[in-house]
Amino acid sequence: MSPALKYGYTHLSAGELLRDERKNPDSQYGELIEKYIKDGKIVPVEITISLLRREMDQTMAANAQKNKFLIDGFPRNQDNLQGWNKTMDGKADVSFVLFFDCNNEICIERCLERGKSSGRSDDNRESLEKRIQTYLQSTKPIIDLYEEMGKVRKIDASKSVDEVFDEVVKIFDKEG
């Protein structure tokens, strides 16, 4: 059992929600999401937050006890953070941030390997290098901000899957 499930968290992946929305033929955002993802850019905050909020609301409507969420891949820039704070102020608190720290080349190698079977349009070297630049310019300052607040829990993600998982378990055991 994942530590998130053990402690009652519902896992929401911003990227997965965006990819699902992109595939939805009825979505007004599908083509726009595809362009942003392919270019390694961050999707506009209004779209991402509306998808996250919809999932959170549906989860809590089905079971009021399910009010803890592990949000994967968000916020990724200042605009995301401001949008989150504006939309979710008083509705959701950030307890802590899991930061999976890994050097660029290992990340690229892993994503290229994933790309052999993922079908993701962004699992190629060109998109990945753009994503790293976006990360350095936009996401790293957000991690630094949460670090200043004492909310970052850093994990050395260059280790094996099992070792990384063990570190995550330790964090959840401590944080609950």
pTM for this entry: 0.84
Domain match, 14 and 87 both? yes
Domain match, 78 and 146 both? no
Domain match, 116 and 54 both? no
Residue 56 token pair: 């959170």
Q: Which of these three, 34, 62, 94, is where a domain ends?
A: 94
Q: Where residue 127 sits, what CATH number does that domain have?
A: 3.40.50.300
The closest alpha carbon to 77, from 140, 15, 119, 10, belongs to: 140
What tens digit of pLDDT does each residue of 100-117 get?
999 999 999 999 999 999
What tens digit of pLDDT does each residue of 18-62 get?
999 999 999 999 999 999 988 888 899 999 999 999 999 999 999
Q: Which of these three, 62, 78, 94, is where a domain ends?
A: 94
Domain match, 137 and 64 both? no
| Three-class secondary structure of residue 65 per DSSP | coil
The closest alpha carbon to 47, from 9, 7, 10, 87, belongs to: 87
Structurally, the chain folds into a number of domains equal to 2
Q: Which of these three, 63, 94, 125, is where a domain ends?
A: 94
**Domain extent at residue 115:** 98-175
Q: What letter represents residue 148's amino acid? A: E
Domain match, 84 and 130 both? no
Domain match, 75 and 30 both? yes
Domain match, 85 and 104 both? no
